[in-house]
Structure 1
Amino acid sequence: MTDAYPEYSIGTPGKPWTEKDKQAWLDQQYQKRSYFDEVADPLNQLRSEGLIYELINYGTLHYQSLSLSDGANQGSAYADYPLYCAVIGEHQVGLPNILVTGGVHGYETSGVQGAIAFIRDAASAYKGKANIIVLPCLSPWGYETINRWNPFALDPNRSFIENSPSQEAKLAMACVAALELPLSMHIDLHETTDSDNTEFRPALAARDAIEQKVWDIPDGFYTVGDTSRPKPDFQRAIIKAVESVTHIALADKDNKIIGADVEQHGVINYDKKSLHLCGGFTDAPYVSTTEVYPDSPNANDEICAKAQVAAITGAIEHVLSQLS
């Protein structure tokens, strides 16, 4: 599609946002749900039940002291958010090392809840077969405020670079590096939502004063491989696993999904390292980004979380079959 997004409510058309504009954007945000109730507490409960071998607090986002304008944010009080890495079983040398990340974009709910559901319902089946680590929610503030960006109007999923300006990305990369594990697989859990077109991409166009082409939101699940290591059989295995849970997105009339060429049913590729995406920060040979569509009339929160679990398990099963 070639239409541009309508004028956004913040900023001056044709000019990138100033710090004042970013503060005006921040003043419009407010807490809509609790990271502590919905993410931190369940993770600690899974740890107490023995489904998590070790729950590492790999850093804290110090957002309690954010400067807020008087009367802004509808009374919300932000917090200092502890970040968690769940180690599923005791490390065994010689097994493939699997990384699962979720909540890089905090508003993409099933990425977070799907990661937690995987730990609860499926991860223990791989003890003795793979070493699995899960970072369920990289962006707690984004989770609470249902936002793509962090409080500084930065997209963590465009920030996986050395000396990253995003603490969400910087701390996650440091956590994985500190584990010193050669990764065989990395799967990053995401959603594509209707709000991408109604809020987040219009905000991006305004923030950067760069026209963003409007694209159709695909109805269904799809994956994003890496152009430098596409692994089509790996992507196909994920699609096949998810098909039993929810429908797969179809290509548009131009044989594209979100503006990218469809490589096979339900699969597109991005150059993840050059775009500084979470899926590109490791050198794992098997890499995929999942995209669930929660706004479909044929989906709901439970289906979306189950689709993420199916994607993870389908991916792991394929990798184990290739490495055995």
Structure 2
Amino acid sequence: MTEPAPYPIGTPGQPWTDAEKTEWRSRQTRARSYADDVVSVIDTLRTRFDVVDYGHIEYAPDQYDLFAIRSRDWRDDLPCVLVTGGVHGYETSGVHGALRFVERHAADYAGRVNLLVAPCISPWAYERIHRWNALAVDPNRSFRADSPAAESAALMQLVAPLRDRIVVHIDLHETTDSDESEFRPALAARDGKVCEPGEIPDGFYLVGDSENPQPAFQQAVIAAVAQITHIAEADRNGQIIGSDVVAPGVINYPVRQLGLCAGITDARYTTTTEVYPDSPRASAEQCNAAQAAAVCAAIDFALAGAD
């Protein structure tokens, strides 16, 4: 078997110092615009929803305001739903699926739930189509006290007053071919570890909370998304990305222990979506639609009071 080429930054087996992180950052180039792709869409929604500027991120010379979209008819007697996207900036349908949900479906829930949607948590990474922020930190391992990621800390501060009122939290992600070609090798290099080859699943799947799995809820979301795009199958070991498949298209993680976004509330119903945009069987349109459908299914399940 041919040995994989060493990652171009750092010395194999040695964790990165600030010098390697600076070199890594110097190699990241801006490929798209947060202002054009995301903020401009949010601006069109201001006539129908409240928009909250909940934080400011600065990686000189780049600066970004962080925005969340909020129900205009907010009522303290209604359950709250949190939708998050773009924790990993390169996971495009997480961002645009969240915006699509607000544009096309949020009005259906007016007077039934309070919606809080943070569509692009990591704008620097969105622009550079990367997983990490500018400090080579993964925001989705950083939702914890004294977070090393400003993006994660800002979202936690936004959500804190509502933490025990949120009934549904759905966090929108993708699993891409670049996970295997770039991001896992970069992670191993950064941490001075050996990169073990993995397998990218073809299709949509969910990551539930192993401490609060809610299997019927997860299956309701899977059923809705299956009408739009295909569901990932288990590999020969009965797993998806190294975790046991507990039901069709569902694996579980200890989300709080890992510092994942899905663990920031006390919501009864939580899940992380994973769309596969590189599949020859799925288009960008399907990926965005699948994310929006997952959000709708999650809310519908909670409103139905099903167990």
Q: TM-score range by the shorter chain?
A: over 0.9
In structure 2, what is the equivalent of residue 195 of structure 1?
A: 178
In structure 2, what is the equivalent of residue 114 of structure 1?
A: 97
2: distance between equivalents of 1:95 and 1:131?
A: 6
In structure 1, what is the equivalent of residue 242 of structure 2?
A: 259
2: distance between equivalents of 1:55 and 1:116?
A: 13
In structure 1, what is the equivalent of residue 280 of structure 2?
A: 297
Q: 1:3 touches 1:213 (CA, 8 Å); kept in 2?
A: no
Q: 1:56 aligns with which of 30, 52, 55?
A: 52
Relative to the length of structure 1, the TM-score reads 0.92
Deviation sequence 1:101-155 (CA, Å, 0-9, x none): 0000000000000000000000110011111100000000000000000000000
1: distance between equivalents of 2:59 and 2:99?
A: 24
Q: 1:88 touches 1:119 (CA, 8 Å); kept in 2?
A: no
Structure 1 residue 299 displacement after superposition: 1.0
Residue 226 in structure 1 maps to residue 209 in structure 2 = yes
SS at match of 2:203: coil
1: distance between equivalents of 2:172 and 2:111?
A: 24
Structure 1 residue 33 displacement after superposition: 0.3
In structure 1, what is the equivalent of residue 79 of structure 2?
A: 96
% identical equivalent positions: 50
- Tell me which amino acid in the other structure corresponds to 1:47: R
Structure 1 residue 64 displacement after superposition: 3.1
Residue 283 in structure 1 maps to residue 228 in structure 2 = no
SS at match of 1:117: helix
Please, which runs of 5 or more residues in structure 2 have no aligned partner? Answer: none
Q: How many residues align?
A: 307
Superposed CA RMSD in Å reads 1.6
- Tell me which amino acid in the other structure corresponds to 2:141: R
1: distance between equivalents of 2:56 and 2:168?
A: 26
2: distance between equivalents of 1:3 and 1:260?
A: 26
- Tell me which amino acid in the other structure corresponds to 1:161: R
Residue 235 in structure 1 maps to residue 231 in structure 2 = no
Q: 2:255 touches 2:263 (CA, 8 Å); kept in 1?
A: yes
2: distance between equivalents of 1:189 and 1:212?
A: 26
2: distance between equivalents of 1:212 and 1:28?
A: 21
CA change 1:3–1:140 in 2 (3 A) is: farther
- Tell me which amino acid in the other structure corresponds to 2:215: P
In structure 2, what is the equivalent of residue 45 of structure 1?
A: 44
1: distance between equivalents of 2:120 and 2:303?
A: 25
SS at match of 1:47: coil
CA change 1:316–1:271 in 2 (3 A) is: same
Please, which runs of 5 or more residues in structure 1 have no aligned partner? Answer: 66-78
- Tell me which amino acid in the other structure corresponds to 1:38: D
CA change 1:323–1:58 in 2 (3 A) is: farther
2: distance between equivalents of 1:212 and 1:151?
A: 22
Structure 1 residue 282 displacement after superposition: 1.2
In structure 2, what is the equivalent of residue 248 of structure 1?
A: 231
SS at match of 2:245: strand
Q: Tell me which moved more, 105-114 or 274-283.
A: 274-283
SS at match of 2:68: strand
CA change 1:303–1:4 in 2 (3 A) is: farther
Structure 1 residue 163 displacement after superposition: 1.0
